[in-house]
């Protein structure tokens, strides 16, 4: 038969004190004499007592843990978000527990339910795009903040990067480098990509004589970029774009690989390329990629601040809001010619 874990009453019995005294020693809320404290601590060590976090949360009225469901831990952008969230949670004396949904809506729901059952203080969700509808209904009574999921989230607080500004910065940089025929590559099925294209279009509209071509891709992976690059290689030089704005770094890497393999086109001399995200793909590419750096850590910090606001004000007084964080341009050899 499995032996149950020792309880506070077991510790109190072994130390010869009341359960209230044991609680005072554990919480440090009331002064206890050194001799009594020593007896209680000795009993804790002897019995191997471990505090029950859920029970303690119920007694205190609030947990010291936040749950964070992340869409893809393999993506350095989401790791940056987690790092910023953990930093801000730590400042408030809270712990952050991570779960990876791995692009699965089913896993996302499962982890949200698990965090609710464990009575965490609040939940952050970097959600699958299109899977955020009624997300707050999965966590009744628990503050929830949606991260990096553009759209109407009037029922919860949300934090997003300014993707339109990112697209604007990317295109403006290319124009300032003397490029006049821009190609935007990406799938506008994704809301962030659509917003990036809006920014590119705005920048082009501000510069007479600059033209823009849009090429839809199936996704934003390396193989999608290779197909874009292969198409550029086959183009008549008089009709070929002299710069590419890729909706993601992986897409930009694929374009670059195809152009470099052709041996007939040089990056950036013939075609400049700028990506989006500033993940490892941008750092390690054959020609270091200029890119738009996502404000991952800032997004994580703001998300935790929104949760803390709701915890402090309470659900009745709290007003949900959207916070937008600005990306920034990172210039490397793929547009400037120097690393």
Chain center to CA of 325: 12
CA distances from 305 to 89, 90, 169, 276 (A): 8, 12, 28, 26
What pLDDT is stored for residue 4 in this prediction? 54
The pLDDT of 210-231, averaged and rounded, is 96
DSSP 8-state class, residue 247: S
**CB contact at 8 A, 291 and 278:** yes
d(CA 122, CA 180): 49
The pLDDT of 211-239, averaged and rounded, is 95
The pLDDT of 227-242, averaged and rounded, is 95
Query: How many other C-beta atoms are found inside a 10 Å radius of the C-beta of residue 51?
Result: 11
pLDDT band at residue 2 under the 50/70/90 scheme: very low
The pLDDT of 92-112, averaged and rounded, is 88
The pLDDT of 109-116, averaged and rounded, is 88
What pLDDT is stored for residue 103 in this prediction? 80
What pLDDT is stored for residue 286 in this prediction? 87
Percent of the chain with pLDDT over 70: 88
Pairing of strands 322-325, 157-161: parallel
What pLDDT is stored for residue 280 in this prediction? 77
What pLDDT is stored for residue 331 in this prediction? 96
Q: Give 148 or 153, the one with higher predicted confidence.
A: 148
What pLDDT is stored for residue 28 in this prediction? 64
The pLDDT of 203-226, averaged and rounded, is 96
List of residues 6+ apart from 309 with CB closer than 8 A: 157, 318
**CB contact at 8 A, 181 and 238:** no
pLDDT digits (tens, 9 = 90+) for 68-91: 999 888 788 889 999 999 999 988
pLDDT digits (tens, 9 = 90+) for 27-78: 665 678 888 989 998 998 888 876 655 445 444 455 788 999 998 887 888 8
Greatest alpha-carbon span in the chain: 91
Query: How many other C-beta atoms are found inside a 10 Å radius of the C-beta of residue 30?
Result: 10
What pLDDT is stored for residue 339 in this prediction? 54
The pLDDT of 303-307, averaged and rounded, is 93
- pTM recorded for the entire structure: 0.75
Q: Which range (135-149, 168-182, 258-272) has the least confidence?
A: 135-149
DSSP 8-state class, residue 277: B
Pairing of strands 122-126, 144-147: parallel
pLDDT of 136 over the 70 cut: no
The pLDDT of 158-175, averaged and rounded, is 97
- The edge-to-edge listing of strands for the beta sheet with 243-246 is 211-216, 181-186, 243-246, 272-274
Give phi and psi for 137, each to the nearest 5: -70, -20
What pLDDT is stored for residue 54 in this prediction? 43
Q: Which range (20-24, 134-138, 294-298) has the least confidence?
A: 134-138
**CB contact at 8 A, 40 and 22:** yes
260 burial level (CB within 10 Å; 0-12, 13-18, 19+):
middle
pLDDT of 272 over the 90 cut: yes
The pLDDT of 180-206, averaged and rounded, is 96
Q: Cα 293–298–300 angle (5° rounding)?
A: 115
**Residue reference for tokens 């359960």:** 19
**CB contact at 8 A, 100 and 78:** no
Pairing of strands 272-274, 291-293: unpaired
What pLDDT is stored for residue 297 in this prediction? 95
């Amino acid at each position: 038969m499995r032996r149950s874990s020792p309880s506070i009453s077991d510790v109190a019995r072994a130390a010869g004190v009341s359960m209230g005294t044991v609680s005072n020693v554990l919480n440090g809320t009331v002064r206890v004499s050194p001799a009594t404290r020593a007896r209680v601590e000795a009993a804790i060590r002897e019995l191997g007592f471990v505090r029950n976090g859920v029970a303690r949360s119920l007694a205190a009225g609030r947990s010291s843990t936040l749950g964070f469901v992340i869409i893809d831990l393999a993506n350095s952008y989401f790791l940056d978000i987690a790092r910023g969230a953990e930093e801000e949670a730590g400042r408030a004396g809270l712990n952050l527990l991570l779960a990876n949904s791995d692009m699965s809506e089913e896993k996302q729901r499962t982890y949200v339910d698990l965090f609710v059952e464990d009575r965490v203080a609040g939940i952050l969700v970097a959600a699958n795009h299109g899977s955020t509808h009624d997300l707050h209904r999965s966590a009744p009574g628990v503050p929830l903040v949606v991260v990096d999921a553009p759209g109407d989230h009037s029922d919860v607080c949300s934090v997003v990067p300014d993707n339109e500004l990112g697209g604007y910065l990317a295109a403006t940089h290319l124009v300032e480098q003397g490029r006049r025929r821009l190609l935007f590559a990406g799938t506008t099925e994704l809301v962030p990509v659509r917003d990036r294209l809006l920014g590119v279009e705005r920048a082009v509209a501000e510069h007479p004589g600059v033209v823009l071509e849009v090429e839809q891709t199936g996704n934003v992976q390396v193989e999608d970029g290779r197909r874009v690059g292969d198409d550029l290689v086959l183009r008549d030089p008089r009709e070929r774009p002299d710069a590419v704005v890729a909706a993601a770094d992986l897409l930009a890497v694929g374009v670059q690989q195809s152009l470099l393999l052709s041996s007939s086109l040089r990056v950036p001399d013939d075609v400049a390329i700028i990506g989006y995200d500033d993940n490892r793909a941008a750092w390690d590419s054959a020609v270091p990629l200029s890119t738009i750096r996502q404000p991952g850590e800032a997004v994580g910090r703001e998300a935790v601040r929104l949760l803390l606001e709701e915890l402090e004000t309470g659900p009745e007084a709290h007003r949900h809001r959207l916070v937008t964080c600005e990306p920034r341009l990172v210039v490397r050899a793929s547009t400037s010619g120097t690393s």
